Structure 1
């Protein structure tokens, strides 16, 4: 047990990279997803088709291949564009490419969640707001968005957890620079030393479980806040059923 705890503590610096990839991609991915969802629902055919194309491309292809494709595109523009601008070290860096790909990927999945929630917003509330004389921006801020985010939040919570789990393949698809090793690369390196797969990969899994539990807890608090006007506000259950 003592060795397991020591191993768990040794993995802490590696977990920072996984947390960084998630935190760096979630905010921009969230905003982009809102625009993609609204674009998909737009009456403008060009905007709708472009939004649908992005959603289809990133939902329909494996994330592992997306890392390769975007890194290859960055390499192809390296000599012609990035080097003359002096930013090739940044554009080709895993700490930049990783969040970029994850952001584009989660934006596609989240946009589909938001689009479904947008379609589920009660039409009578929108009609009431329109009859009250609200502008389209007021309708969105006061009626559509509050309903949309409440409907989408449970599914979006799952998407954030899936995104955090997806950080496990960043350094499997991109080059490792220096000592930048996440949980999976650290487990892989330690496994190659003593071939104790059970210990090292179990510790990596425990880190993912622990951080996922924190995500469920924090997003559950936000959901209770969103549903505070309900008489019996349901909360997201982040504990296993046999522990409740």
Structure 2
């Protein structure tokens, strides 16, 4: 039994630090992605054709192209401007660092997907409640904060939970495109490095998968708590339970 568990425990220990890089990429991109997605969702619903067209085009471009290609294109653009822009300014070490470029590209990607989720929820907000708020004398900001936003975020939260998990999974692609600097290794890098030593793909990549499963479960649990908080005032809310059937 010890001979069976020892390699697994050894891999778990070796991959603990690399897992932090995957977590970092996700955590660093979620807040800005969430914030900008709100503006893009509202922009897509805007009566202004220029604003709406720009937001629709952005969302379509990032949702319609593979994340791997987005990584490659933005890193290529960053390299193209290196000698002419970044190096003279002395910020080439910062701009070309995966710890900066990775979260930036992830943010651009998640903004598109999250904005589409928020836009779909926005379209289901009851028009009667919005009109009632305006008739009551609320300003546009007050209407959004008191009427539109509570409906939107409650309706969008289950789908947004999935997007956060997909975003975390997408971090596995970053070091396939961006350079590994120093000891920057994520789960896939470390699993590949261990595989090259003994060619035991089942062991190393299974342990990497376990990390992804464990962190994904933690995300589901945390976001489930938030969802119960968002729906606590609804009839039968005490009976609402977060389950994987909602995901």
Normalising by structure 2, we get a TM-score of 0.95
Aligned pair partner of 2:48 in 44, 51, 59: 44
Give the secondary-structure state (helix, strand or coil) at the position aligned to 2:223.
helix
Return the alpha-carbon distance in structure 1 between the equivalents of residues 23 and 125 of structure 2: 33
1:60 aligns with 2:72: no
Q: What is aligned with 1:80?
A: 84
Cα shift at 1:3: 2.5
Aligned pair partner of 1:195 in 171, 195, 199: 199
Contact in 2 for aligned 1:217/1:238 (Cα 8 Å): no
Aligned runs of 1:176-191 on 2, under 5 Å? 176-191=180-195
Aligned runs of 1:124-139 on 2, under 5 Å? 124-139=128-143
**1:20-47 Cα deviation digits (max 9, x unpaired):** 0000000000011111101101111111
Return the alpha-carbon distance in structure 2 between the equivalents of residues 62 and 148 of structure 1: 27
Return the alpha-carbon distance in structure 1 between the equivalents of residues 98 and 137 of structure 2: 50
Normalising by structure 1, we get a TM-score of 0.96
* Gap runs ≥5 in structure 2: none
* Gap runs ≥5 in structure 1: none
Q: What is aligned with 1:174?
A: 178
Q: What is aligned with 1:227?
A: 231
1:71 aligns with 2:75: yes
**1:171-192 Cα deviation digits (max 9, x unpaired):** 0111111110100010001001
Cα shift at 1:85: 1.3
Cα shift at 1:238: 4.7
